[in-house]
Structure formats: structure tokens, C-alpha cells
Amino acid sequence: MNRLTEITVVGEDRTGLIARITTLLFERNVNIEDLDQAVRDGLFRMTMHVDATEMAVSEGELRAALAELGEELDVDVQVRFPADRETQGIAVLVTKESHCLEALFEAWANDELGADISVVIGNHDDLRPLAEHYGVPFHDVGDEKGTTDEEELLALLSEYDADLIVLARYMRILGPNVVFRYEDRIINVHPSLLPAFPGAEAYRQALEEGVRIAGVTAHYVTTDLDQGPIITQRAFNVPDDADIEELKRRGQPLEAEALLEAVRLHLDTSVAVHRGRTELRGEGDYQLGMDPAVDGANPDRPLDGIVGAPIDSD
């Protein structure tokens, strides 16, 4: 597990924010290992990973100092020490489709998830019975049209102290106010092989374009729709006579599988984001895409620039 402390700052963009916060850390002997910042629509977000093992104050004192400075600067400051993440909690966001939520619950019930599902949050009430079956709190934050109250959503994510947010076929776009607070901690599954067919009705787009191979993608969420770093993908063949329902029948089990694998990789800190791409941590020949058996079915020659004897046709 990553032993660095994570500090996230979100608020209105203004001059001097970074200097004030980094100075506070320097004065308390907190070493900044990594700093990432972004601004979208006037909203500022900074995420720092710091080494606080030799800081000159207690954890409580650092939290209090950052909270006081955040109040002065009118920004929201979140501090997550390594000990805060020993037992990780997941908030699952849903709409009406159950297959991804069912896969997460089954893995959790079988002790195969690696974290607790702390809360299920929907923009409709349809999946409340499924959450209640597993004894998990369910909150509906949508109006009659399914439009999400993001202030209520943020309050719930804070209340349940979510380490990871999983969009289990959550059919709404999250605004920067949510995404910036949980950078690289929101995982979505999309029913296409991104970057192909982003946005709504991905299976329909694939069918209309006549693709022969379709698929699904689990990725980190950014403020750019369906353009976040890809974690896992799965593919399936599209029969000549396939309709939308057939694509869903083939794709939905793979959606659940790809999402579950992405969640496990994240929780195990086996995947990291670097320059907009995901990278595996550690050594080995693990493959984020198709099953390794697929490689054995692919031809390995001819290759450009390799001159050899003709293939024996006998």
C-alpha cells in the first residue's frame, strides 16, 4: 500500500494558493513528493502526495492547520494519511442497470473484493432492494428525471469517507466539483472499446457503424467525457444479425468483469496513472487487455523487415 499522505485542495482559482499551502507544509517538515494541479471552469484542484513520516507536528495538528488555512482561503482541503486507507471503502453510483452492482456485491460477499462497499448512491430508486439485500445503505440523490444533486452527492461521499467511487452503469456525467475532489479515484465502465464510440448509446453506435468486434472499457474518470486513462478492456464478436439486445447480452457480463478487475487493480495499487496513461506497478507479464490465450491464436509472421525461407506449404 502507498505510504504517502494525500492532500487534495479544491476551490475557486486564485493567485497564491499553491504558495500558501506548500509553505505551510514546508514549515512543518512535510516533504512534497508529487504535486498535480488543474483548473476547469474557474475551479482549481491540486493533489499532493507528501511524506509526513518526519513532520514536526501530529496528524491532528496538521489536519487542523490545513483546515484553518482552507477556511481562510475559501477552499476545501482533504487529508488522507496512510492509516486512513488500511480498510478502504467504496461508494458505488448506479442508475437502473444491476449487472455491475451485482458483480461487485458478489465479490464483496465472497471476500474477493479487497475493500468494503460502504454505500450505494443512485439517481433513481430502482436498485435500492439489491443494496438492502446486502445490508448496504442506499441513497437516492436524483430528481424525477434522474438529475443528480451534486451537493448532496458530495456530502454523502464525505460522510461515508469514500476511498474509491465506482460508477456501475451510472448514466450521468459527473461535474468538475466531484471529479476534481476524487482525481484518479473514480472508475467507470463504458460499453465500447474506447476511444471509439464515447458518450451515450455506445452499443447502438457500434451497430450502426458496422463493427465486427465490439467491447467494453473500464477507465478512470476525468472532466473530459469517456477520455480518462484506460485500465481494462474486453472484446466480443458482433454477429451479422445482431441487434442492440444481442450486443447488450454479450457485453454486459464483460462490463461487470472489466469493472471488477479494474477495481481490484486499483485497490491493490497495482495500477498507476502517468502522463494520462495507466501503467502496471511491479514486474510480471500481466495483461490489462484480452486473455493471454488470445495471443496464442494470433499469427506471429510475416513481419515487415524479416527475410526468411518461404513457408512450407506441405
pLDDT 10s digits, 114-140: 899 999 999 999 999 999 999 999 999
pLDDT exceeds cutoff 90 at 288: no
Helix, strand, coil percentages in the chain from 3-state DSSP, rounded to 5: 30, 25, 40
- Closest C-alpha to 196, from 184, 208, 207, 205: 205
Q: What is residue 147's predicted lDDT score, i.e. its pLDDT?
A: 93
Q: Do residues 285 and 276 make contact, with C-beta atoms less than 8 angstroms apart? A: no
Look at residue 309 in the predicted model and tell me its pLDDT.
58
- Annotated catalytic residue, options 51, 74, 226, 314: 226
Please tell me the distance from the alpha carbon of residue 104 to that of residue 107, in angstroms, as a whole number.
Answer: 5
**pTM for this one?**
0.84
Residue 116 and residue 104 in contact, taking contact as beta carbons nearer than 8 Å: no
Q: What is the model's pLDDT at position 258? A: 96
**274-275-278-284 Cα dihedral, nearest 10 degrees:** -50
CA dist 275 and 69 (Å) reads: 30
User: What is the average pLDDT score of the chain?
Assistant: 90
Phi, psi of 72 (to 5 degrees): -65, -40
Identify whether 226 is a catalytic site residue: yes
